[in-house]
Chain A
Amino acid sequence: MAEMMYWQAILRAHDEELARDPLVFAMGEDIGVAGGTYKATSGLYAKYGPERVIDTPISENSYTGIGIGAAMLGCRPIVEIMSVNFAWLAMDQLMNNAAKIHYMSGGKIRCPFVMRVPGGTAHQLGAQHSARMEKVFMGISGLRVVTPATPRDAYGLLKSAVRSDDPVVLIEHESMYNLKGEVPDEEFFTPLEGVKVMRPGRDLSIFAYNISVHWALQAAERLAKEGVEAEVIDLRALKPLDRAGIAASVRKTHRALIVEEDEAPVGVGAEVMALINEDAFFELDAAPVRVHAKDVPIPYNRRLEKAAIPNADDVVAAAKKLLGK
């Protein structure tokens, strides 16, 4: 078991898949010669050449479409979008083509297409570089959406995404590329469906994903010092959501808190609450609570930015409120 950074785990998954299958290729802005904005494809250009590690012009919608077209003929492209905000430009190809081709061809065409996007807010990048688009991706029929919170999952989910016959969006995080964690040395695959229990507990369930898993874990640590045992669930797959896994945790703890980096109207929090209502309403001892970003374009100013995005303090406060403390 080696410790590696999130970006290194992504790089390893790329390298293994490119080495294994000549129809796997990677494309995106600056991923080749420059090695990728977050180094996640560094060294691959020299190893696999310009036909398989492709530096694209700044044309998100069409290089996404080129990846989709290649996938329709059996290639397995891994398309990197430099910043999740730029994925808005690729939404036409992603949602109108990738997500729908298998269905609207009556199952006759497969689209094993992978899009990697660094989602989330980093540090003072302003409104046009701080988008969180999970609510958009998870609302599109036909897509799979996964969000690795650890280097281990960054590797395992990308491996599974490349092998999947469905289009998969991987939402990474700009602030997590240097996050360290243990990754097993042998090859493994993380399932594209299902929640993961990050920390078992009995008093409340904290549902989180991507960076908010770390806020939830920090909060659980602090709550434990006050005698509260929080169960932290990494949703990990946002589409399809594991409703059985969510309900199972609620049946155990009878209290639910959802933490999302995205702003609240429409999103992970709202969806998980709806599922809890539908599947486990009578198991609840209190109304579910959500912690989320403020409904504002993310401001540049450091203080304002910090105020817009939730953190572990907010999770602790919400948990206490939920427990009536």
Chain B
Amino acid sequence: MEASDRKRLLREMLFARRFEERCAQAYQEREIGGFLHLYPGQEACAIGVLEKARKGQDYVVTGYRDHIHAIQCGADPKEVMAELYGKETGSSRGRGGSMHIYDVDHHFMGGYALVGGPFPLAAGFAKAIKLRGGDEIAICFLGDGANNQGTFHETMNMASLWKLPVLFVCENNLYGIGTAIERASSEINQYLRVAPYKIAASQVDGQDIDVVMAEAEKAITHVREKREPYFLELMTYRLRGHSMSDSGAYRSKEEVEQWAQRDPIGIYKKRLEAAGIIDAAAFQAMDEEILEQIENEIVRFALESPEPRVEDLERYVYVAEGA
């Protein structure tokens, strides 16, 4: 991979981190309402996998921790932030909120709040692709907790049975909200759970973006060429709470600190420094430039955008006639 691309990936991860931190600040300032689920710690997963996808062509869906997946598909971060601020310029015109970001133009088909709900949707995208005859694939990002839903088993069965071109990415962050995986799943290794459905699967480190990209490339090639599902488990960790209202009582400070040593941004930064691609000063400059962009472009856009009109409350319940 070119040095410029590696630098870009580092910037994308750092941007994701700063974007989410800024969201947390806005939430504490009550500029953002509802529930807010942030991505710090897991950046290498979405960014690494989507680097190997055909962005804007492959169809992507995820759960409620969706801001970064949308942005990596090509959504304008200004529109994502405006959505969080509930504005008419938001990616869902202020009707969706943090858990329901959409960018149809870039084939980001949404974030969903019901755990496990997107499994069949992704299989449905793959079914549509198959009927249309294209070579796109569907990619479904969900957490380990979703694998205890019936939709997981039902969808794995049908995706395998019907040879649907869908990549399931399990971002295993070891907790379903506050319940540790060993207390919720009789099989801790999630990739083993699709074996009975005869779906190819693997498990790799989700904190090292080089590892993620290498495995994602294999997985995506498998789905695209064989036109059948693949299940990729990425071992990761959220450095923040499940949502902003998380007490954190279920895990120790030591555990969080230990995982912070394996921060995906730290790992990659060190690697790029060793390769002479970036130095401390350049990283610092990159960070400042990101913070500046977030504040002066993104947050400003969200703040200055208009709210939806109350007269439009009932728009979009049904598709308007002639629309």
Contacts of B266 in A (CB 8 A): none
B80-112 interface code vs A (CB 8 A; 1 in, 0 out)? 000000000011111110001010100001101
Cβ–Cβ contact B124 & A110, under 8 A? no
Contacts of B162 in A (CB 8 A): 54
Among A80-109, those with CB < 8 Å from B are 92-93, 96-97, 101-109
B142 within 8 A of A: no
Smallest beta-carbon distance B194→chain A, Å = 15
A139 within 8 A of B: no
Cβ–Cβ contact A104 & B96, under 8 A? yes
B176 within 8 A of A: no
Cβ–Cβ contact B131 & A68, under 8 A? no
Contacts of A22 in B (CB 8 A): 131
A65 within 8 A of B: yes
Cβ–Cβ contact B92 & A104, under 8 A? yes
Interface-forming stretch among B4-12, B215-223, B315-323? B315-323
Contacts of B95 in A (CB 8 A): 103-106
Cβ–Cβ contact B161 & A65, under 8 A? no
Among B36-61, those with CB < 8 Å from A are 59, 61
B241 within 8 A of A: no
A66-79 interface code vs B (CB 8 A; 1 in, 0 out)? 11111111110000
Smallest beta-carbon distance B168→chain A, Å = 13
* 8 Å CB contact of A165 from B102, B113, B124, B319: B319
B127-143 interface code vs A (CB 8 A; 1 in, 0 out)? 11111100000100000
Contacts of B74 in A (CB 8 A): none
Contacts of A103 in B (CB 8 A): 95, 316-317
Among B132-168, those with CB < 8 Å from A are 132, 138, 150-151, 154-155, 157-158, 161-162
Cβ–Cβ contact B96 & A66, under 8 A? no
Q: Give the tally of cross-chain contacts (CB within 8 A).
A: 150
Cβ–Cβ contact A52 & B131, under 8 A? yes
* 8 Å CB contact of A62 from B104, B120, B132, B316: B120
The bracket for how many chain A residues form the interface is 35 or more
Name which of B100, B121, B130, B157 has the most chain A CB atoms within 10 A of its CB.
B121
* 8 Å CB contact of B128 from A64, A73, A104, A109: A73
B73 within 8 A of A: no
A59 within 8 A of B: yes
Smallest beta-carbon distance B110→chain A, Å = 6
B232-263 interface code vs A (CB 8 A; 1 in, 0 out)? 00000000000000000000000000000000
Smallest beta-carbon distance B95→chain A, Å = 5
Name which of A61, A93, A105 has the most chain B CB atoms within 10 A of its CB.
A105
Cβ–Cβ contact A142 & B120, under 8 A? no
Given A56-B158, A92-B117, the answer on whether A106 and B94 have CB atoms closer than 8 Å is yes
Knowing that A68-B121, A73-B132, A106-B95 are A-B contacts, what are 9 other residue pairs whose CB atoms are under 8 Å apart, sorted by A's residue number? A54-B162, A61-B120, A62-B154, A65-B117, A66-B155, A68-B120, A72-B124, A97-B117, A102-B316
What are 5 A-B interface contacts by the 8 Å CB criterion?
A: A52-B131, A54-B162, A66-B121, A66-B158, A107-B316
Residues of A within 8 A of B (CB): 22-23, 25, 51-52, 54, 56-57, 59, 61-75, 92-93, 96-97, 101-110, 141-142, 144, 165-166
